[in-house]
Structures are given as C-alpha cells and as structure tokens.
Amino acid sequence: MDKPYRMVGQSQALKYVLFKAEQVASTDAPVLILGEKGVGKEHVARVVHAASGRKECPFVKLNCAALPAHLVEAELFGREPGAFADMRASRTGRLELSQQGTLFLDEVEKLPAALQSRLLRVMESGEFERQGGARTFKVNVRVISATNLDLKTEVERGHFRADLWHRLNVYPITIPPLRRRQEDIPLLVDFFVSRFNRQAGKSVRFVPPDTLRALRDYDWPGNVRELAHVIERAVLATPGAELCLAERLGAASAGAEHPAPECLSK
C-alpha cells in the first residue's frame, strides 16, 4: 500500500490543484497532469492514487524519456523469450505490475510513435501483447500521464496521435510554477529544512529574514525540485543553527563560480 501523499503549501493555486485531484480520484478517468519541469507532477499523480479506490494496489511509474525508444516497449508491455537473441525468460512489464492500480507515464510525449496506438488500445480495451509474443493479456489499470509540453501543439505538428491525446486528456490538471505561488515558499522551505536535517543529522532551526526574502524573490526556473536541491545544499553547508545558502541563487544551474556566501566565509 502506498503511503498517503500531501502537497505542501497554502496558496489558492495549490488548493485548486488539490481540489481537482480529489474531485477525480474516486473515478477511473484518465488524468493528464500538465506543468513545467520540477513542479511536482508525479506527486500530484500519487495524491490522486492515494485518494482513489485503487490505493491498496500498486502505483507504477515509467518515464518515457528515460530509456532508449527500443527499450520502452519491453518496459511497458513486457517481453517473451526470444524477443532478443539472448532472451531466455519472459519479463513482466509495467502494465502488468500495475494491475488493479495506477500506471503513471511521465513525459508521455516521448512515447515512441509505434507504441502510441498500442497504449490507446490498452486504454480502450485493457488488452495488449508482450514484446515478441502472440498471447493477449488483459489488465485493469488507471492511466495517469504527465507532460511539460502542449500536447495539442504536438498533435498539430504530427508528433503525437490525436486520438491518444483525446483519451489521455479526459481530465487535465495544470500545476502552476512556483513563481506563481510564492506564498508557498516559506512552508516549503520549512518542510525541506526539516527533511534534510533528519537525513544529514543537522540541527538547522532558523531561516534569517534576508535569506527567506531572497528565496521568495527568486523566480525558480527549476520550480520545487530546484528549491529542494538548494535547501539540501544549504543544510549540508550550514555550520550552525541559522540556515546559510551554500551559493548564490542560480549559480549551480548557471555553472559559474561565485564567491562563498558571507556566512561561510566567517
């Protein structure tokens, strides 16, 4: 059973995301989660799963961009002996592993064109064949997908099937970027400081007003993921109880060398 998931924040924008997640959770409708990289699309998918009738069953994820195209088929659908020259045993794919549960397809726009029709078939009939096999399998899964692109534009460019987009897009949820919900930043900072204190055995207890102001004023192109990394580095670098940023904001992503913050130079 997956642990309960919660989103940290109190902004109206986040509350609306959670309202939509709760509204659709009790159904089996496909959900398409939209938003920039780092906003927490997988986290919202887990919120939907944890509030659904499938919460006792697996939550299985596949990042469609994380594998070469020729391996995505085997990962998603599984494969039979003989699919490759050195393949002597069958392999269960993510679809079968998510039986009765939720399959989360991240960066779904990267799903190879040859597999898009097969995914559509699964969503419409629950049927598929493993790679290299003729036997038809049947699954009952809820599909949640995510993308940081405009899939409608990808359809118009011929990069994505229109019928699959319509099937995935039954219930879209858009997560706003962190720069549009700055009131959530103090709560997220406290959350990440506590988490990384525990992980690193540190005792950071105070975030100076100037530091918090800098964190709120930064535009966070990497969103919540970037904030988490910044706070983790800060906690690791802080020698005492007062949080000290390990670098100037944006320095790590820019790849440039910057002087150490004054609090580390004392």
pLDDT beyond 50 at 124: yes
66-85 burial, b if ≥16 CB within 10 A, otherwise e?
eeeeeebbbbbbbbbeebee
Q: How far apart are CA 45 and CA 228, in angstroms?
A: 19
Give φ, ψ of 174 to 5 degrees: -105, 125
Q: Which of 9-23, 55-69, 204-218, 236-250 has the lowest mean pLDDT?
A: 236-250
Domain range 179-265, CATH class: mainly alpha
Domain spans in the chain, listed from the N-terminal domain onward: 12-176, 179-265
Which strands, in side-by-side order, build the sheet including 171-174?
Answer: 59-63, 102-106, 142-147, 31-34, 171-174
Structure tokens at 137: 């399998």
Nearest to 94 by CA among 74, 70, 109, 111: 74
pLDDT beyond 90 at 12: yes
Q: What is the pLDDT of residues 246-256, one digit of tens each?
A: 888 876 555 44
Q: Does domain 12-176 have CATH number 3.30.160.270?
A: no
* Region class of 154: left (phi > 0), else alpha (psi between -120 and 50), else beta: alpha
- Cα distance from N-terminal residue to C-terminal residue, the chain: 48
Q: Among the residues of 130-203, which ranges form H helices?
A: 151-156, 162-168, 185-200
* Residue 7 identity (one-letter amino acid): M
Q: What is the pLDDT of residues 209-254, one digit of tens each?
A: 999 999 999 999 999 999 999 999 999 999 999 999 988 887 655 5
- Average pLDDT value for residue range 17-41: 97
- Average pLDDT value for residue range 184-188: 97
